[in-house]
């Protein structure tokens, strides 16, 4: 029997999808906890930059939500873009990763008008890739932390065959008290995979940046 460690607790639907074929033992633990912050946002920016579902969750609880909803959005992740659209936001441009979004923006010459400004709603551990790129291109970038990520590491005493990671921060938390050894690390995207490569070269990346795709990749490993 193969043992899979998920560094986040799965929904019942995802759990059943992983276990449906039998022969798999699942260990789950939330290696990070997200705390949404009660932030008031006052901005004159004309674009929003949203790179995570947690930023969407935080934004939706703000009293300024209607003003923010009038701002076109640059987004990372298909699920993030879909949720924004469902909530009434105009998604101007989206891609599966920060690198891919930069490529998409470079192909949109009219996006880089002089004096454009961006409000980046982010977590406290967000990378600087996108804001740095925008600043280099002449954008004014306002950054606002709207959620914090707390590491909740735990020692896993069992031998595991596959570890599922959904963020670089989860990698950091796991590595505080554990080593991957010969286990495969299945990651939600290239940024998370880059964090894992500090510890092992046994890394696989999901087809798309969503948890469902990660589970599918785990099943491929176990097949």
Contact 4/21 with Cβ under 8 angstroms? no
- For residue 41, give Cα distances in angstroms to 46, 58, 63, 80: 13, 11, 9, 20
**Residue 114: predicted pLDDT:** 58
**Residue 145: predicted pLDDT:** 97
The model carries a pTM of 0.86
Strands 2-6 and 162-165 come out as: parallel
Contact 62/133 with Cβ under 8 angstroms? no
Residue among 131, 196, 145 nearest 166 (CA): 196
> 167-177: per-residue pLDDT in tens?
999 999 999 99
Question: What is the DSSP secondary structure assignment for residue 10, as one 8-state letter?
Answer: P
Whole-number Å distance between alpha carbons of 79 and 82: 5
- For residue 172, give Cα distances in angstroms to 111, 153, 180, 182, 203: 35, 9, 12, 18, 15
- For residue 93, give Cα distances in angstroms to 47, 55, 144, 145: 11, 17, 20, 22
Contact 95/103 with Cβ under 8 angstroms? yes
**Residue 108: predicted pLDDT:** 83
**Residue 149: predicted pLDDT:** 96
**Residue 44: predicted pLDDT:** 87
> 168-203: per-residue pLDDT in tens?
999 999 999 999 999 999 999 888 999 999 999 999
> 44-53: per-residue pLDDT in tens?
899 999 999 9
Give Cβ neighbours of residue 144 (< 8 Å, ≥ 6 apart): 39, 41, 43, 119, 120, 121, 122
- Spans of the chain below 50 pLDDT: none
């Amino acid at each position: 029997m193969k043992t899979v460690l998920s560094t986040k607790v799965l929904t019942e639907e995802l759990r059943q999808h992983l276990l449906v074929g039998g022969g798999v033992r699942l260990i789950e633990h939330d290696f990070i906890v997200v705390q949404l912050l009660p932030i008031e946002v006052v901005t004159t920016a004309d674009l929003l930059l949203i790179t995570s579902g947690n930023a969407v969750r935080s934004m939706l609880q703000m009293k300024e939500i209607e003003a923010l909803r009038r701002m076109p959005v640059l987004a990372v992740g298909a699920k993030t873009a879909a949720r924004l659209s469902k909530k009434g936001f105009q998604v101007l441009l989206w891609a599966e990763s920060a690198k891919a979004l930069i490529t998409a923006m470079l192909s949109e010459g009219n996006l880089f008008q002089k004096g454009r400004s961006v409000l980046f709603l982010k977590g406290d551990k967000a990378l600087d890739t996108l804001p740095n790129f925008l600043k280099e291109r002449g954008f004014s970038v306002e950054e606002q932390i709207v959620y914090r990520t707390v590491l909740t590491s735990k020692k896993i005493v069992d031998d595991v065959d596959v570890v599922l990671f959904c963020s670089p921060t989860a990698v950091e938390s796991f590595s505080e008290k554990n080593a991957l050894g010969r286990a495969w690390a299945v990651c939600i995207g290239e940024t998370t995979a880059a964090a894992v490569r500090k510890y092992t070269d046994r890394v696989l990346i999901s087809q798309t940046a969503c948890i469902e795709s990660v589970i599918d990749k785990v099943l491929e490993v176990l097949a």
